[in-house]
């Protein structure tokens, strides 16, 4: 099993550009989430999903969209990138208990 796979690992965007961060898991986990990590802020929940076709907002959802058309995939879309979205983004999945995390996507918006 590959676990939770995030792509790309690094990305630089210009302000106003859009892009999709990919997340895939092969563990048949129901729950998936996206977090962003900024220095001194810990991990903040952006969006989460309790199963295919179901998504909900977390603590900091503005500027991001998600969809969950399959159990395996949970992409995160930045509609119009802003410098404030410069961060490390982590995708995670679980069935019960705690999340398994991907290795992250480091995004810089210039």
Partner 1 sequence: GQQLNQSPQSMFIQEGEDVSMNCTSSSIFNTWLWYKQDPGEGPVLLIALYKAGELTSNGRLTAQFGITRKDSFLNISASIPSDVGIYFCAGNRDDKIIFGKGTRLHILP
By CB neighbour count within 10 A (0-12 exposed, 13-18 middle, 19+ buried), where does 1 fall?
Answer: exposed
CB of 72 to partner 1, least distance (A): 18
Q: Using CB atoms within 10 A of its CB, is residue 9 exposed (0-12), middle (13-18) or buried (19+)?
A: exposed
Render 71-98 in DSSP notation, one character per residue. Answer: SSB--EEESS--GGG-EEEEEEEESSSS
If the CB atoms of residues 48 and 109 are measured against partner 1, the closer one turns out to be 48
In angstroms, give the least distance from the CB of 10 to partner 1. Answer: 11
Site residues, partner 1 (CB under 8 A): 4, 31, 33, 35, 40-45, 48, 50, 56, 58-59, 90, 92, 97-104
Nearest approach, Cβ of residue 4 and partner 1 (Å): 8
Comparison of 104 and 109: residue with beta carbon closer to partner 1:
104
Nearer to partner 1, 17 or 94 (CB): 94
φ/ψ of residue 83, rounded to 5: -55, -30
């Amino acid at each position: 099993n590959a676990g939770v796979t995030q792509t790309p690992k690094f990305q630089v965007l210009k302000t106003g550009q859009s892009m999709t961060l990919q997340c895939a898991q092969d563990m048949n986990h129901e729950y998936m989430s996206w977090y962003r990590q900024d220095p001194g802020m810990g991990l903040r929940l952006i969006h989460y999903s309790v199963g295919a076709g179901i998504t909900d907002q977390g603590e900091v959802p503005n500027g991001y969209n998600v969809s969950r058309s399959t159990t395996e995939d949970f992409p995160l879309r930045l509609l119009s990138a802003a410098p404030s979205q410069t961060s490390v983004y982590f995708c995670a999945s679980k069935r019960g208990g705690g999340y398994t995390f991907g290795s992250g996507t480091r995004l810089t918006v210039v």
